[in-house]
Chains A and B, each alone.
Chain A
């Protein structure tokens, strides 16, 4: 079963308090998903396969909800935020804990900061394209 991995360093992500923020540094866009969506995101990054995650959601909520979660995972891949790999044989470290009540997960895309996110760190960029912070004041 394919597992999904973060194509770093192009994409970085963080989940805090049930809100996943996923940043595509090359495109300068960021994505957000909450609740069920952030649990599905965390489960995928943790190493659960998409099939396991969708099956788990189906078992917990019901088939329709499981299909929503499967569609969301496809959305992560379609947006380039996760990459599916058959060769990935990670074992997930955490069981999936779904929130209640259920709310249909949505993947929001924000491109309003795109021009700046793309250009901002150019003065301090290494060969791999990572933005580097100013170590000591304005550059």
Chain B
């Protein structure tokens, strides 16, 4: 059966969560090609991916942006989706977005967050938000990816925000639906001391580039 959608799953040492993510893809009931992009994992990521029949690609550079780019580079279907190894798609996520994709360049839906069962570290309150454009909630046509170009791997954070901003700036159109299409897992905190400043700098750069494209 020809795959309708190529799904790129970046994974860095999330082998223990990957099986659940891949099972949530399989449960969609849509013929798909699954590409797990391994980003220097030292755990059982490759074994888990292989056991579930996924194509495994090694990311040429660290970071989510590079991993997504590497996955799309080998994707064969005309529609592309992303699911991070620690997140899940609820039942119907793919079918609902495929239906919404008709006449649009991309489709996305609402997002629910959940706390990893058993995780008792400090964490933000899980949120439920309406249609939101993020990798795991968005399906896009290959032509849209080609028109916009790959994710900017130089950005440390906000690289997908930048990609979507470029999608908008290119005049492409995305359809949002109210159904929950992504369940994001909250499972870790990280308190690197200077991370706040790094994040702020990345976001400011994304905003600056967005504004520059608007004025071009």
Contacts and interface: CB of A to CB of B under 8 A. Distances in A.
A28 B9 CA distance: 26
Given A120-B161, A138-B84, A130 B196 contact: yes
Contacts of A132: 190-192, 195-196, 199
B131 A126 contact: no
Interface in B73-129: 84-86, 111, 113, 122-124, 127, 129
B122 A127 contact: yes
Given A21-B211, A113-B165, A138-B10, A122 B186 contact: yes
Most B CB within 10 A of own CB, among A19, A118, A125? A125
Contact of A116 (B14, B133, B208): B133
A30 interface: yes
B198 to A, nearest CB: 5
Given A21-B207, A126-B191, A113 B164 contact: yes
Interface residues of A, number: 40
Interface stretch (A7-15, A41-49, A59-67, A95-103): A7-15
B150 interface: no
B188 A139 contact: yes
Given A23-B200, A137-B40, A119 B210 contact: no
Nearest to A115: B132
Interface residues of B, number: 59
Contacts of A128: 196
B142 interface: no
B12 A113 contact: no
A78 to B, nearest CB: 20
Given A134-B157, A137-B62, A138-B11, A124 B208 contact: no
A61 B124 CA distance: 49
A92 to B, nearest CB: 23
Nearest to B38: A137
A122 B202 CA distance: 15
A90 B41 CA distance: 49
23 contacts: A21-B211, A23-B207, A25-B200, A32-B207, A108-B211, A116-B164, A120-B157, A120-B158, A123-B188, A124-B188, A124-B190, A124-B195, A130-B199, A132-B196, A132-B199, A133-B157, A133-B198, A133-B199, A134-B157, A135-B192, A137-B12, A137-B59, A139-B86
Interface of B: 10-14, 39-40, 59, 62-64, 67, 84-86, 111, 113, 122-124, 127, 129-134, 156-158, 160-161, 164-165, 168, 184-192, 195-196, 198-204, 206-208, 210-211, 214
Given A30-B207, A115-B132, A132-B192, 5 more contacts: A9-B196, A113-B161, A117-B158, A133-B157, A138-B10
